[in-house]
Amino acid sequence: MERLEALRQHLKNENLPAILVTNPVNVAYLSGFTGTAGVLLITEKQAYLLTDFRYLEQAGQQAAGFTVVDAAGDIWEKAAKTLGDVPALAVESDHLTVDTYGKLAQAFGKTQLKAIISPLRCLRQIKSAQEIRAIKAAAALADQAFVHILPLIKPGVRERDLALELEFFMRRQSAEGLAFPIIVASGYRSAMPHGTASDKVIAEGEAVVLDFGCIVDGYCSDMTRTVFVGKVTARQRTVYEAVLAAQKTALAYLQPGISGRQADSLARDVLKEYGLAEYFGHGLGHGVGREVHEEPRLSPLSDDMLQSGMVVTVEPGVYLQQEFGVRIEDLVVITDDGICNLTAGSKELLCL
């Protein structure tokens, strides 16, 4: 109930009497309910979970402390009736469509809708010990998958087959699902930061970028490793060493109190020394939790401040179009005096 009370305190501070939570990720975070149809109504004294007959039993089991309401018919009309005479209602503007907002305005009538960026985006940044345990378990499972896949990476193997094997392995080891579509990108495709697995066949001398993660107890992991098939060239080695040096520098200096842009510059400045910064086109990292991309952001544009309890990726990369790319990514917890690295997979330059 700590999460619920934290949300209520935020509402009180903003002089908002109630909030409608529609984002399924936020619904699960607050209530524990994981069904695909359900919304929350939170007031100073009451907490309602509205869902339909398919999920009533599940809601009763999962959402301890919430009054479950059968929302048969029009869920927005039922929500308005449940809320009653309240002057204002906050809604999650970062989740609602224009169409849904119009339906809400009609259903709630005289109640003034206050479209706000969901406060849960901020509240979810600091992970509890239980959340960190789940993320750590997901990261450990991804580490096991990396060890499992290494002997299978060889010339003649399709990227798609490696991605399927990674998924099968993690699911066989009790993963609830994938955190995101698996990236296996080889050769010239390794220079595509989000090059999801294709039918391309891996060839001798190519870089292979593997970016994957799984879900355990509702929480995600995210890791990237780059390996080489056959003999590595001098250029490939230099780029790999540059990316690894950039990541190690960032990992050494991450701590509470630095901003997302400062964290990003730790790695970017190292790549500048190698003359490769222009090929690092994305931010250094992002938060991970119930979603694989959450707040905070570590990028040149981010003023997010790192705090103890945040879980973030650290993933510098260099992408040389039509040649090859290298990315190395770890998942870390920000602690009072630095970080705890949850990713154990080897970062030694591997020539398979």
3-state per-residue secondary structure call for 301-335: CCCCECCCCCEEEECCEEEECCCEEEECEEEEEEE
- Tell whether 270 and 138 lie within a shared domain: yes
- Tell whether 327 and 180 lie within a shared domain: yes
- Tell whether 205 and 271 lie within a shared domain: yes
Residue 107 lies in a domain: yes
Mean pLDDT of the residues in the chain: 97
Please identify, among 83, 101, 123, the residue that sits at the C-terminal boundary of a domain.
123
- Tell whether 238 and 291 lie within a shared domain: yes
Residue 246 lies in a domain: yes
- Tell whether 56 and 205 lie within a shared domain: no
- Tell whether 186 and 62 lie within a shared domain: no
Q: Which pLDDT band holds residue 62 (cuts at 50, 70, 90)? A: very high
Structural domain boundaries, residue 44: 2-123
pLDDT of residue 34: 96
Q: Which pLDDT band holds residue 340 (cuts at 50, 70, 90)? A: very high
Residue 352 lies in a domain: no
Q: Which pLDDT band holds residue 1 (cuts at 50, 70, 90)? A: confident
**Length of the chain, in residues:** 352
CATH of the domain at 167: 3.90.230.10
Please identify, among 74, 93, 123, the residue that sits at the C-terminal boundary of a domain.
123
pTM of the full structure? 0.95
- Tell whether 67 and 184 lie within a shared domain: no
Q: How far apart are CA 65 and CA 106, in angstroms?
A: 29
Query: What is the DSSP code (8-state) at residue 201?
Result: B
Q: Token pair for residue 104?
A: 């809400």
What is the residue whose two structure tokens read 């870390």? 332
Q: How far apart are CA 337 and CA 352, in angstroms?
A: 37
Angle at which helices 2-13 and 24-31 cross, to 10°: 120
8 within 8 A of 41, measured Cβ to Cβ:
no
Total domains in the chain come to: 2
Q: How far apart are CA 162 and CA 152, in angstroms?
A: 7
- Tell whether 111 and 225 lie within a shared domain: no
Residue 233 lies in a domain: yes
- Tell whether 324 and 211 lie within a shared domain: yes
Q: What are phi and psi of 335, to 5 degrees?
A: -115, 175
Please identify, among 89, 123, 157, the residue that sits at the C-terminal boundary of a domain.
123
Residue 31 lies in a domain: yes
- Tell whether 190 and 272 lie within a shared domain: yes
Q: How far apart are CA 58 and CA 286, in angstroms?
A: 32
Q: Which pLDDT band holds residue 267 (cuts at 50, 70, 90)? A: very high
Task: Read off the pLDDT of residues 121-166 as tens digits, 9 standing for 90 and up.
Answer: 999 999 999 999 999 999 999 999 999 999 999 999 999 999 999 9
- Tell whether 173 and 100 lie within a shared domain: no
Task: Read off the pLDDT of residues 223-264 as tens digits, 9 standing for 90 and up.
Answer: 999 999 999 999 999 999 999 999 999 999 999 999 999 999
Long-range contacts of 146-152 (CB under 8 A, 24+ apart): 146/210, 146/223, 146/225, 146/345, 147/345, 149/210, 150/227, 150/350, 150/352
CATH of the domain at 115: 3.40.350.10
